[in-house]
Each structure stands twice: as structure tokens, then as C-alpha cells.
Structure 1
Amino acid sequence: MVKCHLSTIMGERRLKIADVSRDTGINRGTITRMYNEEATRVDLDVIESVCNYLRIDIGDLYEIINEDSSESSA
């Protein structure tokens, strides 16, 4: 499973979805889906724009969660 940390990062920086959308030119719906972890596909140029805007690496935005290891440790 891929986890998106956009909501956490935006919360820490007190950014609103509308601000990120306006400042990056990315559709508000796209940012909302990423924020709510509902996006199933995100264009690479969108990811690049978000990372550049937030001054983070892709690994800071997305993380692969191994579901097998979380089940065995529970």
C-alpha cells in the first residue's frame, strides 16, 4: 500500500488545499484526493510540482507500507 503524507505535511505548515492549488496551478480536486488519500493515479508532473512547492523529496510525500509486516507485528 502507498501512503501519502500530504495532509500531515500541510497540517504542520498550516496550508490549505486552496492555497496549494492556487500556488501550484494543480486542480483543487487532485490536491483534495491526494490529501484524503483517495487518489489512485497521480501524474508525475503533479507530484513534482507538489514536492517543489513544499520543498520536499518524493520519499517525504509517499511511503510504501508493507501490509504483511504490519499484520505479523500486530
Structure 2
Amino acid sequence: MIRFRLKELMADKGFKEERRITMDEVSKETGIHRTTLSKIANQRGYVTNTNVLDQLCTYFGVPIGEVAEHLPEPADESDSSR
């Protein structure tokens, strides 16, 4: 599964700049709709496109590996009974 680190990036940027970064600000600066940002931040397994990822990388000044990370899927418990 891919996990997006949007909330962490917003917190890090806010800490560095000594201010609060809001979803509305990220939306205005990147052109990414507020609803899309909310889904990226809160919805497990949300799928987005490379343009959105590129805009987030540019806004936060980080490589793609800082925006998203791969997490292995948890083992299915029904498979362990074999």
C-alpha cells in the first residue's frame, strides 16, 4: 500500500517557517483541489496521479520518497491457518 505523508510535510514546513500551514494554503499554492488534498491526507488507499505528486514535491521542495512511501500489506490472517 502507498501511504501519503501530506500531514507530516505540512507540519514540517510549518515548524520550519514558524507558522501554521493549512490545506487551503497548499491548495491555493499548488492548484490541487482541497477535496483531493483531504483524500490524500485521510483516505487509506487513495489513488492520485503523477501531476498531483509532482505539484506536492515542488511545493514542499522534497523528492517523491518524502511525499509517499510504500508499506507492505499486512498478512491476511486466513492465510496463516494453512
Normalised to the residue count of structure 2, the TM-score between the two structures is: 0.73
Q: Does 1:43 align with 2:49?
A: yes
1:12 shift after superposition: 1.8
Out of 47, 50, 64, the residue aligned to residue 58 of structure 1 is 64
SS of residue matched to 1:63: strand
SS of residue matched to 1:13: helix
Taking only aligned residues, the RMSD between alpha carbons, in angstroms, comes to 1.8
Q: Give the greater-gyration-radius structure (CA).
A: 2
1:31 shift after superposition: 0.8
SS of residue matched to 2:62: coil
**AA matched with 1:58:** I
1:67 alignment partner in structure 2: 73
2:6 alignment partner in structure 1: 6
SS of residue matched to 1:3: strand
Paired with 1:68 and 1:33, the residues of 2 have a C-alpha distance of 22
Normalised to the residue count of structure 1, the TM-score between the two structures is: 0.80
Spell out structure 1 runs of 4+ moving beyond 3 A. none
Out of 27, 31, 37, the residue aligned to residue 37 of structure 2 is 31
**Percent of aligned pairs with the same amino acid:** 26
